[in-house]
Every structure is written in structure tokens, then in C-alpha cells.
Amino acid sequence: MKKVIIIDDEAPARELIKEYLNGNDEWVIMGECNNGVDGLKLIREFKPDLVFLDIQMPGMTGFQVLDRLEEVPQIIFSTAYDQYALEAFEVNATDYLLKPYTRQRFKKALEKVQINQDS
């Protein structure tokens, strides 16, 4: 079992991630929240293997969350803004999902996580 946390200020975006993860026994959702401050607390508490992270959120951006972590889990950014992609990969993001994305694209992102964990 791999632990997942979802951090996104939009409830429909969190629901979509949960829907796409549903039925995949490999991943267990440890928590979700709608802002960076609570997200940082969840990451520190659960030490997840993977975080789905939005960028523009109340309180703290996704990048600010990462800046405050001692140990950074694998990150898949999930955002409506394409202009942050380069910066996301500079902080070693595993993938960058541009909203709206398909189930197939989501699956490819999870495959990248698996490849990174196996290597």
C-alpha cells in the first residue's frame, strides 16, 4: 500500500482524483484538504509516498508547501495553470497534470510514480 494525500482548493478536483484512484488497491488516501497550510500538516503527519498538489491555493502555494518540507514525497501537480510547469519540474515533480485531464492521462502520471519508486 502506498499512501496518498490530495491538496487542492477545489472540491471537484479532489473528487476527480479520488474517483480516478478508486478501485486501485495499491493506493490508500490518507487525507485531503483545501489549502497549503493544512496540506503541510497532513504531509508531515502521514509522510505519504505521493501528493497530488495544486499550485494556487489559499494560505500557501504548492511551491511554498514544498519549500517547508524536510523530506519531499513524490509530487504530481494538478493545476489549471500551464505557466508553472517548468518550475514544477525544477522542484523534481514526478508529473504535471493540467486541468482538465483524462483518466488515461492520470493513469500515465501514476505509472511515472511507479517507475520512480522502482528505480
**Are 51 and 74 spatial neighbours (Cβ–Cβ below 8 Å)?**
yes
pLDDT reading at 119 higher than 80: no
pLDDT at residue 93 in the model: 96
Whole-Å CA distances, 50 to 4, 54, 66, 83: 5, 13, 13, 22
Q: Which three cell numbers stand for residue 78?
A: 494538478
What is the rounded average pLDDT of the residues 12-31?
94
Q: Which residue has the cell 523534481?
A: 92
Distance in angstroms (rounded) separating the CA atoms of residues 53 and 110: 14
Q: What pLDDT is stored for residue 25 in this prediction?
A: 87
Tally of residues, the chain: 119
What percentage of residues in the chain have a pLDDT greater than 90? Answer: 91
- Reading phi first (left if > 0) and then psi (alpha if -120 to 50, else beta), residue 92 is in left
